[in-house]
Amino acid sequence: MKFRFKQFVYFCGIVGIGLACQQRQANQQEKEEKSPSDYPQVEQESFGTIEGKEVTLFTLQNSQGMKVKITNYGGIISQLWVPDKEGQLEDVVLGFDHLEDYLKGSPYFGAIVGRYGNRIAKGQFELDGELYSLATNDGSNHLHGGKKGFDKVLWDAEYLVDEKNVKLLLSYHSIDGEEGYPGNLSVKVVYTLTDENALKIEYYATTDKKTIVNLTNHSYFNLKGAGKGDILEHQLTIYASKFSPVNQELIPTGELQPVEGTAFDFRKAVAVGARIQKEDTQLKFGRGYDHNFVLNRTGEQLFEAATVVEPVSGRKMQVFTSEPGVQFYSGNFLDGSLTGKDQRVYEHRYGFCLETQHFPDTPNQPGFPSVILEPGQTYQSTTVYKFSLANENKK
Ligand code: GLA
């Protein structure tokens, strides 16, 4: 009996120690876990080196759990974690895990694009009677800033955190003649993650010589999650009554064509894939959608350019901009040859872009809104990607 009692005491002792240890672990975890008041926050880590210079990966996080990773190489948004209707976070932008993969060749995944987003025919334009020749990198045309555009340079970076927002400030000095553009251009791009699950991008530039500027961001979104299927069932609305038809080289003809009665009418929500296979010269030239939409904006304020809803996850993204146009690109050049984050293969149309911008080839199109920047002026452009749930307002 005595023996049994001893055993019992011994057993209780062991259990007691075990429980105490568990409690200590739980306390420890509690201490390590952050509370909402610890956010917004920013963390930084090394993302490798380029030409002997350190590349940094910044993580911006808000109190809602939304998180964005941005590197100062190309200002690339490499991850963007957004909740679905169950509160599950998913990374909704295409990209790579390692800097080397971006250096090997990326179709502008997540990058800042400049000095001129989109195409300039033959890489040529005239300014005050002077002919400028830019680098050509898309057949005989200039695309997205040339051979070494803003997507391939290292930006200076600093960050700022206030009570509600966390900001990453990137700056780059583009010298006179870089990729053929006139003028020394000082560029600043500010990424802000707000507590309302919005990612705001503000672009600023000044020059010492008359030049042209058209900056944008080239994120490929998939609201299911990067690499988790194609984007054809995403419901898209673009608030545009006209679009820019293009020639075979994707250079605008100069005409602004009504979307009415065409596969380009996204004025009411429709699945991206609903009409993408239609017999249509414009869809043929673009290999799908790769066109500038002329936004129905009035006034200078931010305008809702597009809304996208992914029906299964319930994720919704609204795009607001100060720009006159948005290039809707349905990921037509993705062909399964790139393996992205988490070893996921990016097949045809696994991502879409909504590149807010001035119209393509504006320097050669007198009818399009101007992209000229003069000394003494400041180029300014803002785009907001706001995330929520599809039925949030109906609740
Ligand atoms: C832009 C262009 C497309 C293509 C992609 C990158 O969206 O309009 O034609 O070049 O960039 O692959």
- If we measure between CA atoms, which residue out of 246, 282, 252 comes closest to residue 264? 282
For residue 250, the CA-to-ligand 1 centroid distance in Å is 9
Find the catalytic residue in 90, 179, 355, 358. 355
- As a whole-number percent, the residues of the chain with pLDDT over 70 amount to 91
Ligand 1 pocket, 220 CB below 6 A?
A: no
Q: Provide the Cα torsion 234, 235, 238, 243; round to 10°.
A: 70
For residue 214, the CA-to-ligand 1 centroid distance in Å is 15
Say which DSSP state 38 is in: G
Ligand 1 pocket, 333 CB below 6 A?
A: yes
Measured between alpha carbons, how far is residue 377 from residues 100, 210, 327 in Å?
A: 37, 10, 26
Residue ranges of alpha helices (H) inside 248-365 are 281-286
Q: Is residue 1 part of a domain?
A: no
Ligand 1 pocket, 353 CB below 6 A?
A: yes
Q: Binding residue per annotation — 289?
A: no
Q: Is residue 348 part of a domain?
A: yes
Q: Is the peptide bond before 344 cis (omega within 30 degrees of 0)?
A: no
If pLDDT is split at 50, 70 and 90, which confidence band does 391 have?
confident
| 286 contact partners, CB below 8 Å, separation of at least 6 | 246, 250, 332
Q: Binding residue per annotation — 181?
A: no
> With b meaning 16 or more CB within 10 Å and e meaning fewer, what string describes 317-329?
bbbbbbbbbbbbb
Q: Exposed, middle or buried by CB within 10 Å (0-12, 13-18, 19+), for 239?
A: middle
Q: Is residue 273 part of a domain?
A: yes
The 3 state secondary structure assigned to 162-181 is: CCCCEEEEEEEEECCCHHHC
First-to-last alpha carbon distance for the chain, in angstroms, is 66
Ligand 1 pocket, 327 CB below 6 A?
A: yes
Q: In CATH, what number is assigned to the domain containing residue 231?
A: 2.70.98.10
Q: Binding residue per annotation — 234?
A: no
Whether 355 sits among the annotated catalytic residues: the reply is: yes
H helices, E strands: number in the chain:
3, 29
Spatial separation of the C-alpha atoms in residues 68 and 199, rounded to whole Å: 9
Whether 323 sits among the annotated catalytic residues: the reply is: no
pLDDT of residue 384: 98
- Reported as a single tens digit per residue, the pLDDT across 255-284 is 999 999 999 999 999 999 999 999 999 999
- Reported as a single tens digit per residue, the pLDDT across 123-163 is 999 999 999 999 999 999 999 999 999 999 999 999 999 88
pLDDT of residue 37: 74
> With b meaning 16 or more CB within 10 Å and e meaning fewer, what string describes 128-145?
eeeebebbbbbeebbbbb
pLDDT of residue 163: 86
Ligand 1 pocket, 250 CB below 6 A?
A: yes
- Other CB atoms closer than 10 Å to residue 8's CB: what's the count? 10
The verdict on pTM exceeding 0.75 is yes
Question: What residues make up the domain containing 237?
Answer: 41-389
If pLDDT is split at 50, 70 and 90, which confidence band does 34 have?
confident
pLDDT averaged over the chain?
A: 92
Q: Is residue 56 part of a domain?
A: yes
Q: Is residue 26 part of a domain?
A: no
Q: Binding residue per annotation — 247?
A: no
Ligand 1 pocket, 326 CB below 6 A?
A: no
Say which DSSP state 392 is in: G
For residue 87, the CA-to-ligand 1 centroid distance in Å is 33
Q: Which atom of ligand 1 is nearest to the CA of 333?
A: 12
- Reported as a single tens digit per residue, the pLDDT across 278-304 is 999 999 999 999 999 999 999 889 999
Ligand 1 pocket, 139 CB below 6 A?
A: no
Contact between residue 200 and residue 383 where contact means Cβ atoms under 8 Å apart: yes
If pLDDT is split at 50, 70 and 90, which confidence band does 33 have?
low
Q: Is residue 184 part of a domain?
A: yes
| pLDDT of 375 higher than 80 | yes
Ligand 1 pocket mutation, candidates 333, 348, 356, criterion most atoms within 8 A of CB: 333
Q: Binding residue per annotation — 218?
A: yes
| 227 contact partners, CB below 8 Å, separation of at least 6 | 94, 340, 341, 342, 344, 345, 346, 350
As given in the structure block, the two tokens for residue 220 are 């490929």
Number of domains the chain is built from: 1
Q: Whose CA is nearest to atom 7 of ligand 1?
A: 329
Find the catalytic residue in 218, 234, 291, 358. 218
Q: Is residue 130 part of a domain?
A: yes
Q: Is residue 35 part of a domain?
A: no
